[in-house]
Structure 1
C-alpha cells in the first residue's frame, strides 16, 4: 500500500517510540513516556479493532489473589517472591485508581469471597488452617487482617458452610476503564492505529525498522506490550492461556454482590448490572487452552453452566446472554517479564492473569527502561 505524503508526515516520520499493543500495559507505557518525554512522537499499534488480548475481555476483578491462590504460589515461589507479587499487584491497583479515578472505572469496593465445593474438604481445611499465617505475612502491607471466615449468606449450592472474605477486593467496569485510558492517550497526543499487525522488525543502527502487513517505517525505540502473544519474543518464557467467559441475562432481585473465587482461582464470578459474569475452566484442558485462538469449547462452557445451575444460582431461572474469550500470558514463574531485548527493543509481558492489578505498574516499568 502506498502512503501519501500527509500520511507519512503525520504518522510515520520521526517516530520516537512505537508501542505494540493498546491494552492496559501498552497505554500506561505510552502515558508514562509522555510524562517523561513531552515532545516525543509516540505511536501505538494494535492488531485488533479493540485491544486484542484480555484488556477488554476480562472479568473486571480488582484483586491480588485469593487465599488458595496465594497458598498455591507459596508451594512454587519463595515467601519473598509471593510477597513482592502481592505488593506489586496492590501498588498497581492504586496506580490505576489514581490515574483514572474511581468514578471513571466504576470502582465498587464490595469485597471478595472464596467459596469451596462440598467435596473440596481438603482445600477448605488447608485455607482455614493457614489463614492466620497468610494474614500475618500480609499485615505489613495492608495494616490489617486480609482474610476472614464468614457464613455463606448468598445461598450458594453444594458448598462449604463458610466463605473466606477479603475486604480489600473490588470490582471495576473494564469497558469504562479502557475508554478512559484511550481518552487520556488521545488527549496527550499519542497516536493509536488499530488493525495493524507487526509482522517483523529489524534493528539498524540507532533505530528499528518495523514491518507491517503493507509497509514499513522507522522508530527510535520499539516496545512490546503484547502479553499472551509474546511467546516468540521471550523464547517460550510466556505461554498463551485462553480464558472463557459467559454472562447471563439480567436476573430479577439478584442478591449476589462482590467478586468470587472458586477452585484456586480457576473459576471466578461477579455481579454486573443484575447479571452474573462467570469465567474460567482452563484447568479442564490445559493443553487445549494454551492457544492464541479466541473461541469457546463445549467441555468448559458446559462446566460453567453447571456451576451456574448447581452452585451459584441454585433454584433460580437464568438465561445465558453472551459468551466470549480472552488471551492471558502465563509462565513457569508468575513474575512479569519486563526486559530489554536488544539495544532498541523492549517488552513488558507475562501478567499471569492479573493484568488489571499489575498492568499499570508494568506499563510504567516498561517505559522507565528507556
Structure 2
C-alpha cells in the first residue's frame, strides 16, 4: 500500500495501542485506554464494514442467565465460580448502561421468562426444586428473589403452563448501542479502520508489528478482541459458535413484551416493538455451527419457523422479514479469557454468548492489564 505522507502521519505513525476488533470488547478497551492515557494514539482495526462477530448481530438481551443455564453451569463449575460469572454479567450490564445511558441504547426492563416444552417436565421440576437454593446463592447480588413462578398468560402452546420469571432482565437496541459506543470512542480521538484483515503479528524489542492483508503497522502494544475468531490469531481455547436469528414483520396486537428463553437458553426470543426476534438452534447440529462462516441452514431456520408457528404464535399469521447469523466465542469453561499473552500482546476473548452483558467489563479489564 502506497500511503501518502499525510496518511502515514495521521494514522500509522507513533501508534501506542492497537486493538484488533471493533466490537463491544474492542471499543470498550479503546474507551478505557483513552480515559487512562488521554494523549495516546489508539488505533482499532476491524475486518468488516461493520463490527464482525456478534456485536451488531446479537438479539439484544440484557440478561445474566436463565435458571436452567445457571443450574447447568453448577454441574461443571463450583458455586463461587458461578456466582462470579453472574456477578460479572450484572456488573457488565451496569457499566454498559452507565457508559452509554439507557436512552442511547433503548434499554427496557420488561423482565425475562424461561419456558419449558411439554416434553421437558422433568427439567422443569428439577428447576423448581432448586430455584430456592439458586435464589439464596444470588441474593447478595440482587437483594431479593431472582426467580419466581408465573402463569402462562401469553397464549404460548406446547409448553408447561407456568414460566420462571425474573424482573431483573431487560432488552436493548443492539444497533443503537453500537452506534453510541462508536460515537463515544471516536469523540475521544480513537481511530477506527474498517475492512482491514489482520493476518498475524510479530514482536520486536520496542513493540509489535501487525501484518494485515494490505499493509503492516507498528504499535507499542497489541490488544486482541476478536472473540469467536480468536484462534485465527492466538493459541487460545476458543471455539466459534454460529447463532442464527430471524425477525418478523410487525404483528398486530402482539401479546407480550420481554425476553424469553427456551430449552436451556438454546432458543431465545423477544419483542422488538411489535415484531418478534427469534434465534438459536445451534444445539440441533453443534458441529456445523462450530464455524467462523456466516450463513443459514435449513435445519435451524425450519425449526425456528416451526416453533414460531406452533409454540410462540399459534393461530397468529406472521411473515419473516429478515434472517442473519453472528459468530460467538465459546469454550469448555464459561469464564472469559482476559490475559497478557506475551510482553506486548494482550487478549480479551471467549465471551460465551454473553457479549452484551460482559463485553463492557471485559473491555475495561483488558485495558487495565497495562497497569
After TM superposition, the score normalised by the length of structure 1 is: 0.99
SS in 1 for 2:118: coil
**C-alpha spacing 1:77/1:234, structure 2 compared with 1 (3 Å):** farther
- C-alpha distance in 2 between matches for 1:287 and 1:105: 34
Map 1:169-248; keep pairs closer than 5 Å: 169-248=169-248
The residue number in structure 1 matching 2:283 is 283
- C-alpha distance in 2 between matches for 1:154 and 1:124: 18
The residue number in structure 1 matching 2:306 is 306
- C-alpha distance in 1 between matches for 2:213 and 2:233: 19
Unmatched 5+ stretches in structure 2: none
Map 1:42-191; keep pairs closer than 5 Å: 42-191=42-191
- C-alpha distance in 2 between matches for 1:234 and 1:217: 18
The residue number in structure 2 matching 1:350 is 350
The residue number in structure 2 matching 1:329 is 329
Residue-by-residue CA offset, 1:280-305 (whole Å, 9 max, x unaligned): 00100000000000000000000000
Residue-by-residue CA offset, 1:52-102 (whole Å, 9 max, x unaligned): 000000000000000000000000111111000000000000000000000
SS in 1 for 2:231: coil
SS in 2 for 1:17: strand
SS in 2 for 1:295: coil
SS in 2 for 1:119: helix
After TM superposition, the score normalised by the length of structure 2 is: 0.99
Q: CA shift at 1:273, angstroms?
A: 2.2
Q: CA shift at 1:235, angstroms?
A: 2.8
Count, aligned residues: 370
SS in 2 for 1:292: coil
SS in 1 for 2:35: helix
- C-alpha distance in 2 between matches for 1:253 and 1:292: 38
Q: CA shift at 1:215, angstroms?
A: 1.3
The residue number in structure 1 matching 2:315 is 315
SS in 2 for 1:214: coil
Q: CA shift at 1:236, angstroms?
A: 4.6
- C-alpha distance in 2 between matches for 1:233 and 1:111: 38
SS in 2 for 1:93: helix
**C-alpha spacing 1:234/1:331, structure 2 compared with 1 (3 Å):** farther
SS in 1 for 2:218: strand
Unmatched 5+ stretches in structure 1: none
- C-alpha distance in 1 between matches for 2:305 and 2:236: 33
Moved over 3 A (4+): none
Q: CA shift at 1:231, angstroms?
A: 1.8
SS in 2 for 1:301: helix
- C-alpha distance in 1 between matches for 2:80 and 2:49: 40
- C-alpha distance in 1 between matches for 2:235 and 2:190: 30
CA contact (8 A) 2:294 2:327 kept: yes
The residue number in structure 1 matching 2:362 is 362
